[in-house]
Structure 1
Amino acid sequence: MIPFSSLYLLFSNLLGAVYRRGNLSFSKDGNSVISPVGNRISVFDLKNNKSETLPVSTAKNITCVGLSPDGNLAILVDEDGAALLISLITRAVLHHFHFHKPVASIRFSPDGRKFVVTKENVALMYHAPGRNREFNAFVLDKSYYGPYDETTCIDWTDDSKCFVVGSKDMSTWVFGAERWSNLIYYSLGGHKDIMVGCFFEKDSLDLYTVSQDGTLCVWESDTELDGLVLRKTRLPAERGEEEERGEGEENEPRGEVIRGKGERPKEKEGTKNVRYKQRSKHFFNKEGDFNNLTAAAFHKPTHILVTGFASGIFHLHELPEFNLIHSLSISDQRIATVSMNSSGDWIGFGCSGLGQLLVWEWQSESYVFKQQGHFNNMAALAYSPDGQYIATGGDDGKVKVWNMTSGLCFVTFTEHTSSVTNVTFTSRGFVIVSASLDGTVRAFDLHRYRNFRTFTSPRPAQFSSLAVDPSGDLVSAGAQDSFEVFIWSMQTGRLLEVLGGHEGPVSCLCFSPVQSILASASWDKTVRLWDMMDSWQTKETLRLTSDGLAVSYRPDGQELAVATLDGEISFWSPQSANQTGSISGRHDLKMGRKETEKITSKQSAKGKSFTSLCYSADGESILAGGQSKFVCIYNIREQILMKKFEISCNLSLDAMEEFLDRRKMTEFGSLALVDEGVGDGDGVELSLPGVRKGDMSSRHFKPEIRVSSLRFSPTGRSWAATSTEGLLTYSLDGALVFDPYDLDLDVTPASVRRQLRQAKWAAAIVLAFRLNETALTQEVLEAVPHHQITVVCGSLPDVYVEKLLGFIASALERCGHLQFYLSWSQSLLTQHGQKLKTRWVLVECGRVHLSLCPVTVWNVVVFICLCVLCSCDWNMYTIRYAVALSKQKGVKRTAGDALCDKDESEDSEVMSEDSLEETDMLV
């Protein structure tokens, strides 16, 4: 049975999807960008090159994100108007709220005390949540009416006194956040299309407005911000027509209501109202090639306006002169959102059509960050042998390789011309093999990032399955149209054998880990075992109860698991060809009802099944997923369900709910069958019947939730699955899971600290690892004197050496005691390195799992070494630049000073080279 702690696998990260829809936001320091991905948000650290998906999710896809000025709070709003207030420090949900209508934009005031939400044709201003605990964190202050159509964009003045709202009725409204006597509201026109952006000038009431047809208007105010006069408090009976109090929809309090009108407010005695005049008007589409302007952002300190267009081009202009600084095409699809960081150096772009996220540094004209997920659904995944990389193949014909440490894609192979159906790594981990429906099987080299082998069949065939033998010398692929299995040599690239015998498409292939036997599952209700030593003759034929969909060998090769179309998982003995057990998992799938289905979910579940299987490292459990939002872990011996993971709760996907809303059911069918509009598209097209992949030939559709592939990590601490949402990873969280090792009654934190006070360092470390608490282990290690490290490492039992190396690898990433932990790793590898190497060889022969802690330590040290070298080089070149600059300015320097500088520069170069050599020797 798998360890008890393995059942506490928690959501870790979402890969393969970097942007879906909504607005991008930069953190306060400008080094991180927050991107909405479906019903979750991902934080990309641009400095450290890492990504993290927060463990919070909304009911539907997120449409807008509001970030507080201090960067501690964020408000997430989904398609229906349901909002979550989350803390970016604790990653926890603080408050739930519902606006009851879709929200187009949300923006905090610069002082962080209020925020404005645009909903339909009204702008709602709320008091921002404070530090005190409140039952209702969102308190409505004022409701602003004026536009006749939906509001689209918001901006605040720098002192939070006023805000501006753009609308689809081609008007712009300036409202006062306080009770100003000379500015209640002001309406601006001048445009012929939908408003995309409206921005205040820095420390001014001057405005810039941008519309969808590519028109920029510059508005000048006759009043400064200091000229706003606060109105005296009046009794309710004395309120004018512009102000009232009341209740909104569903008896919701609306606070103070301000209603804007077509004419300007009347001026009071002794007070002159704020007035605007149009100073200039500029056009983006000057060449005659009309291009819709889809996104805009303005950086107030540098007066730079960034505009994105539907053709994937963006422009940089300096305002108010409208001087073009830069123009570049970054995508083939429309730019959905634009954002700038606090310094104005980096610009973030999001393209929802291709799922692209880009960060551009406009001064150096280079990419800081560039990521793109699979355009269509992911079809397959594979872990590298060391568990550091994941290769994915998608319906867009691309093979991507993801780094599990950073969560980012570092190479994409685009040689396939059709959907990729399967991917796998060779045993050494340096080669990726992929099969595709274009009739080719390709091998990619991860050293040179190139396609060095292409395997084809004598007759064109669509390959639906793939397997590589444990030695990495043989490549096999199954065809779904010719029902044959092809065997190639990796060394020569030649076709060795064509195996015939199946009467249906070959759905899955798997090599035995310990024998030269290939298992193939097919839709003809059989699994065939092919013996390589016997000229690839059929050794056994296993008769199934239904079509075979997936097959997997146990790690020791003594058992075979097969998933069939009737929802069952059967277990077979490869030696005797007898069935040893079965699990009926149809009731565990619990598939929901699609909106277009005319039968109930109970009837629909009869046609659902598992499509992917994977054994755990110990072979006691099996992971199964398929046409459902659930991934199940079964115990094979007891044949029971141990854990069921719900990979998504996003109601924007289809088949999520068991029962449909009866209010949408009519005598002519469900209202979901009506193609309602285009959203952000440019036209309406009818859905083609039978289309199940791609964009469905419709601008409005809901993708169906399903799991296409899943795998356990070689380290045993995580598993990954490709689904409609993307590449989901679940792993053990050491900070949340209490996972003791060899626990006893006398193993307590008090006893650990007692051993520390008695200077029994080795015993204290052993007890700390038996409790397996990260904070306590770090406290014990950092209490050991530096001169005692060698002695302690020599007295540690072998079983704790590997645990200590793993802890050091994680501590090096988060702690600043670099030399201290490097001394620990040096002593451990010096005294126990030969034992670890010998054990590695024994493990490779016996096929037993081994933690790859030395490799992890090596990767962390190399990364730190590169960072230090970059800093040293930067300092050295900066000093040289300062010296050269001083010479140009005519500063007199003696020859002795110049000679000393030259000697120091040479010494610094020698020191940097020596430090690199010492680091390599140390590791």
Structure 2
Amino acid sequence: MPDVVDRVAEHIAPALIYASRSLSQHLDHTSYSEKISTGLRALLQEHLLYWLEAISLLKQMGTASKVFASIHAWVQAHDADLAAFAKDAIRFVETFANPISHSVPHIYLSALPFAPTESLVSKTYLPQYPSAARFKVGKLDRWSAMLKTFEEHTNVVWAVTYSPTRKTMLKTFEEHTNVVWAVTYSPTRKSIASASEDRTIRVRDTETGEAVGAPFKGHTAAIRSIAYSPSGHHIVSGSDDGTVWMWESETGESVQSPLKHGGIVHCISYSPDGKHIVSGSSDGTICRWDAETGEPADTPIKGTYFAYSPDGSHIVSSSGRTLSIWDVKTGEAVGAPLEGHSDRVNCVVYSPDGTLIASCSSDHTIRLWDAETRQAVGVLEGHTGIVQSAAFSPDGARLISGSYDKTIRVWDVKAGKPAGAPLEGHSSGVYSVAYSPDGAHIVSGSGDGTVRVWDAEAVGFEAAGAALQGPSNTFLSMAYSHDGASIVSGGFEGRIQLWDGDTGQLRPLPTSGHRKGVNAVAFSPDGTRIVSGSDDCIIQVWDVLTGEAVGAPLEGHTDVVHSIAYSPDGSQIASSSFDGTVRTWDVKSGKALSEPFNHGGSNRVWGVAYAPDGMHVVSGGADRMLRIWNIKTGEQVRALSGHIDTVACVAYSPDGTRIVSGSCDNTVRLWDAESGEAIGSPLLGHNEMIESVAFSPDGKSIVSGSRDQTLRMWDAETRELLGGPVKVHSDWVMSVAYSPDGTRIASASWDDTIRIWDAAKMEVSADSDGSAEFSHDCKLENGWIVTASGQLLLWVPPWNRQGLLWPSNVALIGHSLTELDLADFVHGSDWVSCKADAKVVAAKP
């Protein structure tokens, strides 16, 4: 609406503008009265949505929750029902501030329909809007623990922090040109400093968000860590260039010559008294420097990550799998190292009172230690991936942890047990967690590019996000059985699971799985066996009915097994590995059939596939080549060149005449299997590496899946895109496959889901003008369902996104379903008709 500013000025009275901005301040200085309470009740229970319209148009959505919080505090002692409504209104506006501020109609189109069933706002207003979106399945009964999601980042979020006042949590800074590795508040609370992969430090005013001076420049590589001095006058930074710099916090001028480490500086801090700077490096040392002179204060101690005790008398450090406690005055270790972890320690933290130390590790556990006796006092187990970060609550009663398994877990420190269900909602690993100073909220930063705020008090109730079908899965691989009745999947956590190919329901398959991620799975042609290949370098055959291992593991590869395939007659298995080789195995004996086929040197081999005649295999690797091998002789038949980066995946056409390949150069290519010549030009469209390719059973179509989160269908003859790219997954598409009858396509993703698609619907090209309806060619972007014509159809809250059933989805695996009923849904220019009385008015002559 081009004249929206003028229309707002014309139709919204100055008194309403003033009231919208100042109501909370007036309430804070007004004694309770029934008359005012009656007016507030009318505002909330009769006019709330209209008031939100005005607030949105005035660009004042940030004030809404403050107003409701003031109302809640003002009436709490006098009117419990109105206080409850005000509290629910706070949740409503905090959850849906994004769509409401972006587009006023989505108060009615998105916020009301997606509010939980038990929400008082929803109960009061939704019945008045019969033509809003409805749920067939998947609507929450009550508010989740997730309070807010900040989605402005376009890359991994590695660090998060609360302001000391808790009034502000990271504003959006868009000036950095690469990953932001660290953020911190100044002791005065007036500034925030951020450090980035772009080699700069930027300082912003907390209130205005304006830059304070120019970027700090000097480092020659990514800056990993920063810290303010206790006085706030200086900032220190640690970088991949192996140096520590000290800066004037206001001018950005360097204070002294860089302090040097022999490796990446991962961790940096001031001592509590400000007299020393401490830095931890990948060179295996933690150094203390005199903050005035820059001279070493003592001999470096062993370690990489560290934390000061609250009183500044000790430092705890991690080195590999062990921890050590050091006396700051003497520089001596206090007792022997603390041992117990079976893999690298990634983070160490002291409890607020200094009595406990928590360490989190790549062994998937958090360990608790008595800081005085140095004895282990507990092991917190539950994560299924690397634990990257941890933080104590301000009172020390709880500990939170963030993991590569995409969850945040909250632990009762005294009991040594979970304090509730995991907080789920991130679609990638959780790299940073923090408590608010009052302990009421938890904030998390993730590889999915979002920062999320959680209600710490709601942890004991249902966790945010729809419940998964069993433990969280990050799918790395997937394959159909030859009758199409089953799908097998391999996960990042090492699990192998079996699913119904029609319904997506989990089937019993009690395998022990692998110790590490399962990159490849395949069914035997007769459907009685499954073979899997893993990061643990092992290949294992499994009985489909019992889940038992069949024979000993096939061992010989010395690095990650990345791809695997059965021969057409089921007598052989071919595997490719990052050790640079392709191996073939006899299924009955479990023995290697020949010497490995070598891609040359240390070039990783990513993909392998059998020719339909079973006489040849094709492989693709980091040498940018496809190589065809004769199984019987072990000789290379021909090499296919054309890709300009790693060949990540390969597949034969059903008749064996063509090969399709996907590459890290973001292209898909077709090849003549006999001549080795490229067929036409590359298939262009993906903007990140191709993880998986497959031919349809009739050889007429190709499907590709990419790290750009899309899958695309191509005509194998014309090499044209069929329909548009399908962007529904919220993370990398790791594996794609056609069902044996060609009617369905399955796509497995890092986002914890496998989606099964109707292939015929996906092949239909979008209308030339672009559809404005919910169809397979819609995209899911930052929670918005965007139609082919570019219209914002609906905003979907984070807990409903992963399980949202798309129109061309037949089934969804890995997450409980969200299915919408849009039969009576009105939107676009007709959105005003979603209200009951609007239809009556419209029907009158």
- Indicate the TM-score class for this superposition, using the shorter chain for normalisation: 0.3 to 0.5
Q: TM-score, normalised by structure 1?
A: 0.36
* Structure ranking higher in helix proportion: 1
TM-score, L = length of structure 2: 0.39
Bigger Rg over Cα = 1
